Structure 1
Amino acid sequence: MTTEPFEVIVQRHGPTVLRVCRALVGGDDADDAWSETFLSALRGYDELPGDANVEAWLVTIAHRRSIDLIRARARRAVPAEEIADRPAPARSGPLGDLDLLRAVAALPDRQRQAVAYHHLVGLPHEEVARVIGGTPAAARKAASDGVKALRERLGAATQTAPLTRTTDGEGR
């Protein structure tokens, strides 16, 4: 049983879970997936062993909630026209966040998940394999193939702005 207050867990791992949700479901549904993740986690938090990897546990829940939202999205109506008055999203760094999210979203499912969990969240390949299924070698290959596809799609900008976590724990 864990002893940290759940609020501390949300503060510590909330940004990581949000990055996972954005990578898997995009910006529109990321907040919903994030909320669903922490609601589910709150229900099971008291049963979590004290030595559990909380971040990997939350990423697994985020993965499942994101899959639920993707399935729900496939069942909902799609609007025929886009709103033209929408302001352009803010850009940061040599590669805009929106550009990166779109490129990650365009990857095949396994590559997208492996890139998100390993490069954006920082989980080791063994944990990635547990979350998405398969072997650590398969997770490593999917992440490698995904990064290669992103570099091809985004050009040299990705080589100057790698998809890794910075030393302060924030992703780029």
Structure 2
Amino acid sequence: MSKPAFAVVVERHGPTVLRVCRAVVGPDDADDAWSETFLSALRAYPELPEDANHEAWLVRIAHHRSVDLLRRRGRAPRPVAALPDRPSPHGNPRPPEDALWAAVAALPERQRLAVAYHYLGGLPHAEVAALIGGRTDAVRRAAADGIAALRRAYPEDDG
């Protein structure tokens, strides 16, 4: 069995990686994290073993690229001398799913990361624990608490 072409790997796992990036860095920086993930993956792909789990490998790379992006964002200069423009009286229309991403972003960091890597990235709790630190049962609890908070924010519609 040989490795699939890299384009096939991108097509197959790109949406999962984008969801993970959105959950970790937010919708504004997700595209940058996604691109950096696949640039890094492209460089490393020739050395990847044939039997590797591509999805888990890409989610792990996405984690590292997302953390790098968050660190860069934290060090970026923020001008404060200029006043911001006045908000539009018409609001800022965005797609309805932005409310969900805002709820995910509002979760405590460990819950947000546990939800992103387990539910969006498909990693087992043990691998999530290795990525973000801590014990497997603590990560399982953080993921469950995060999902419970999202369910409270978005109850199922019975109608």
- TM-score normalised per structure 1: 0.79
CA distance in structure 2 between the aligned counterparts of 1:57 and 1:147, rounded to whole angstroms: 24
Q: 2:50 — aligned with what?
A: 50
Aligned ranges 1:98-117 → 2 under 5 Å: 98-117=98-117
- Structure 2: any 5+ residue segments left out of the alignment? none
Quote the Cα distance in structure 2 between the aligned partners of 1:129 and 1:115. 12
User: Which runs of structure 1 show a deviation greater than 4 angstroms over 4 or more consecutive aligned residues?
Assistant: none
Between structure 1 and structure 2, the one with the greater Rg is 2
Residue 166 (structure 1) aligns with: none
Which residue does the alignment assign to 1:88? 93
* Partner residue, 1:131: 131
Q: What TM-score does the superposition give when structure 2 sets the normalisation length?
A: 0.85
The residue type paired with residue 134 of structure 2 is: G
Distance across 1 between alignment mates of 2:99 and 2:124: 25
1:30-77 deviations in Å (ceiling 9; x for gaps): 110000000011111111111111101100110111111111111123
Between the aligned partners of 2:156 and 2:77, the Cα distance in structure 1 is: 38
Q: Which has the higher contact order (CA 8 A, sep 6+)?
A: 2
Corresponding letter in the other structure for 1:40: S
Q: Residues 4, 135 of structure 1: CA spacing in aligned structure 2 closer, same or farther, 3 A cutoff?
A: same
Q: Percent identity?
A: 61
Q: Assess if the C-alpha contact under 8 Å between 2:56 and 2:121 holds in 1.
A: no
When the two chains are superposed, the root-mean-square deviation of aligned CA atoms in Å is 2.2
Alpha-carbon separation, structure 2, partners of 1:146 and 1:159? 16
TM superposition shift of 1:84: 3.5
Cα distance in 2, alignment partners of residues 2 and 90 from structure 1 = 41
In structure 1, the partner of 2:15 is 15
Which blocks of at least 5 consecutive residues in structure 1 are unaligned? 92-96, 161-172
Alpha carbons of structure 1 residues 18 and 49: separation in structure 2 relative to 1, 3 Å: same
Given the superposition, is the C-alpha separation of residues 18 and 158 from structure 1 closer, same or farther in structure 2, using an over 3 Å criterion?
farther
